[in-house]
Amino acid sequence: MFDYFPFTESWLDYRNGRLSSVSYAPPVFGMYLMTIAGWMFSYILTHKGLKSVIPTILVVVFVFLSGSRSALFVVIVQLLVFLFYLIKKRKYHSNLIKIAVIAFILSTPFLILKGKVFGEYVYDKVTSFDLDDGTHSISNKSRLGMIYTSGLVFLENPIKGVGFGQVAYEARSLYPAWATKNNWEFEHNYLDNSSKVFPPSYNIYTRLLAETGIIGFSLFTLFIIILIYVCYKKVGLKNEETIFYLTLLVSFTGYAFNWLQVDTFRVFGFWICLALLIATTKNQLKFKINKN
């Protein structure tokens, strides 16, 4: 199939049993699912019958099959935001009942036949944040070690930080022993002078704290809060654009949480949603400042 889609770069993971679909790796597929989640959820409000919930079901199933822990967490948060809106609006309570009935009908046979497998999967995901001898222990130590080290760099330069792209150089001598010990990622990549791998920070917020200080971090955080607030207020206007802004609200919330585990601004879905928000709210936003 991929021969007919030359614009995709796929990688089929037969060894670990994780779904990557049209993405080059399962975690990237998880991010793709997080990007489209809000738009797929909106089908529940814009369509009728079974086909209205199929996109949501597929997103949830695929995110499980991708094996991405972070994507699973983010999609669950996005789904909770969407369901919270349905709970608040009485006219959508019938949609909630429909979702519950369909979910029960589809999940009951699966839980009866594969209940033990599903239970083991959930247990594995819940306990996958262990730092000692677990399947994900190396990855966990690397992530937490990098985030912790970014915090140390921030404490040394709390106001304006060390500058964009400089945290990796400043952090090199600050990596904690518990993160580097028996960790091949540090040994062969981050602490190897011959390696071309640039050490990631794994968290945009701690990276900004380290590189731009409290000033840059505050500006970026305020920017994200404003985007979510604008979408939230627009959802409350109860007009024909409500579902559109609800979709953006779900998406921006997902991106805000997703940045807890990625350190890059190259999240294309975010910028697409931002462009859509700017285009649809042009000359509409007014912030009132009370003068005493």
pLDDT of residue 185: 83
CB atoms within 10 A of CB 287: 7
The model's pTM: 0.84
pLDDT of residue 142: 87
pLDDT of residue 47: 85
Summarize pLDDT for 203-246 with one digit per residue, the tens. Answer: 999 999 999 999 999 999 999 999 999 999 999 877 778 999 99
Residue 197 in contact with residue 190, Cβ under 8 Å? yes
**CB-facing half-sphere around the CA of 237: CA atoms within 13 A:** 16
How far is it, in rounded angstroms, from Cα 77 to Cα 75? 5
How far is it, in rounded angstroms, from Cα 102 to Cα 105? 5
Average pLDDT over residues 38-49: 89
- CB proximity list for 156: less than 8 A, separation 6 or greater: 170
Q: Provide the pLDDT confidence category of residue 155 given band limits of 50, 70 and 90.
A: very high
Locate all alpha helices (DSSP H) within the chain, ordered by sequence.
26-41, 43-46, 54-66, 69-88, 93-126, 137-156, 167-171, 177-180, 184-185, 204-235, 242-258, 268-280
Closest CA to 158 of 116, 91, 210: 210
- Give the residue extent of every domain in the chain: 1-128, 131-282
**CB-facing half-sphere around the CA of 31: CA atoms within 13 A:** 18
Summarize pLDDT for 122-150 with one digit per residue, the tens. Answer: 656 555 555 555 556 788 888 899 999 99
pLDDT of residue 81: 95
